[in-house]
Amino acid sequence: MCGIAGIIDKSFNSIPQNLISKITNTVAYRGPDAEGYYFHDNLSLGHRRLSIIDLSKTADQPMSLDNKYIIVYNGEIYNYIEVRQELKSFGYSFKTKSDTEVILAAYDNWGQECLHKFNGMWAFSIYDKIKNIIFCSRDRFGIKPFYYLDEGRYFAYGSEINQLLEIKKEIKVNFRTLINYLVLSLENYSEETFFESIRELPSSHNLVYDLKTNTYEIKRYYNIKINTDIAKLPIEEALPLYTDNLNTAVRYRLRSDVKVGTCLSGGLDSSVIAAIAASFHKNINNEKFCAITAQSTYKKNDETEYARQVVDDSNLEWICTKPTSEEYKKYLTEVIRTQQEPFGGPSILMQYFVFKIAKENGLKVLLDGQGGDESLLGYERYYPAFLLSLPLSEKVKKFSSMVANSKLSIKDLLAYHFYFTQPGLRVKRQLRNHSFIKSSYSQLVDRDIIKQIAGSYKDIRAMQILEFTKTQLPPLLKYEDKNSMKNSIESRLPFLDYNLVELSLSLNNNFKIKDGWTKYILRRVATTVVPSSIAWRKNKIGFEAPVNQWLNDFEGDFEIIKKSCIINQIADIQKIKKVPFKLHWKLYNIALWEKEFNVSGQ
């Protein structure tokens, strides 16, 4: 896991060495173990290494294969051992034990089709000297980031936005992104970032830059495949198939030459991952598998007791951190610098504290449960889509079971149905809640994406694919990557193994929601590895911060909002004073972000 950088001078001049060094070392925390550079004509590449597999210097980057290809790479190819064996059958030999060398050999053998061989997460660029191109790629679900900038004399790319800010002449806000974040709570659903002209390569896409013409093309290389035969399987056959794929996903992500641990909230997803990983770990090592938990100071959303049950049942080494309101305030600016864009809510800090304490305890790799909810309909807001898929005769029965086996009341479930399936109602409600925004800016609200979301509720798999590619998973993965890498931690996500995702989305929907139980098939797996009190929990919480306690300590910080040039440009400050305080969070976040990155609205 690393940080990458690349600069191309479109005027065909050489790149100043201090420039590539500067944008590479801006993310030194992503790779504190080594740094390296490559220079050729008007191209420069930079790399910071976090050593995980093959810790030797021979595996440092940039890495070359026969002086034909040079790679800078961030990520892990978990099945690199199997791919390397296949490449050996074609006559390839290897100097290292790294997955980086496997990527180069695979590219040499299969060209751009090599991506279909990889099971992992990645963002890389390969300078192909033969074709005089830069081949850039981002993994199937966008677990690893890839930002780029095409402005003035440079085309540049990197692992984080702040690298590209080093070469921008003016740092301006992208109002379209800002308004949709503020009003619709949507982030990362398009290629645009919060910064004008800085874009993100979408997941499942390649960018091929032609060094002769200074032109580039972006193309999708992967779509989630739905296997209709899987949907026909009875639960007796689907359950062992799902279990095997989940076990493989976890086992792959335990491959490492450094210590591996796991995040543990006490929820279903993280508990199952922790238990399975601990079982595999026990067979390899004598020491206990380590789990990290962030404890809320607010009893209502404190999951520590659930985490404790998993720790005891799986005999885990347990490290628990309990951030206070004072620590929240102390680290808020740090997390805003880390995320580099305004983010959804204070709970992002809980995740940050997990990675912080992991680093302090010598861990370099952590497993996490991202993707479990999206792949197996884990949120109650999926209920409307499930009900819409049923015959009328079953709707009433299923409706009742959903109320019985979730934390939703009848009123809540009806409200979910109307809110998520009526785009006009949703937009109207949000605009009313944000009436302090000036009309010239409220027109930037993206009604098309809300219509797309509402329309997807008529087809559960279409809705899941939309959430994987646009509306739900991308911001969660951004938070995960930034928080983990700021603390020099590699985060690995078993539920986002592409084979497991394709299987999960292909399953009969009745195995995802059954008798009102979300993620039913995973609960069945859970009964064999964790206590039943965890497997059949109804009160889903997650790494949730004691938001009310934290925010109440910040009522005096309205002055920061009032002084924001960007907020004054888009909003009526006097009207902001009249809205509920909880709506101030995003405005407060924007104001701090503007100040931290010196962002201009004009």
Q: What's the CA gap between 182 and 224, in Å, rounded?
A: 30
Cα torsion through 580, 582, 586, 592, rounded to 10 = 100
Burial of 232 (0-12, 13-18, 19+ CB in 10 A): exposed
2 is catalytic: yes
Identify whether the C-beta of residue 200 lies closer than 8 Å to the C-beta of residue 193.
yes
Beta strands in 253-406 (DSSP E): 260-263, 290-294, 317-321, 365-367
Q: What's the CA gap between 458 and 369, in Å, rounded?
A: 27
DSSP codes, 563-577: T-HHHHHHB-HHHHT
Separation in Å, CA 390 to CA 59, 425, 460, 464: 54, 24, 11, 17
Give the DSSP H/E element, type plus range, for residue 425: helix 423-433
Identify whether the C-beta of residue 147 lies closer than 8 Å to the C-beta of residue 5.
no
All residues at 6 or more sequence positions from 436 whose CB lies less than 8 Å from its CB, including other chains = 571, 572, 573, 575, 576, 578, 579
Identify whether the C-beta of residue 75 lies closer than 8 Å to the C-beta of residue 123.
yes
Burial of 595 (0-12, 13-18, 19+ CB in 10 A): middle
Q: What's the CA gap between 136 and 5, in Å, rounded?
A: 11
Residue 326 amino acid letter: E
Catalogue the active-site residues. 2
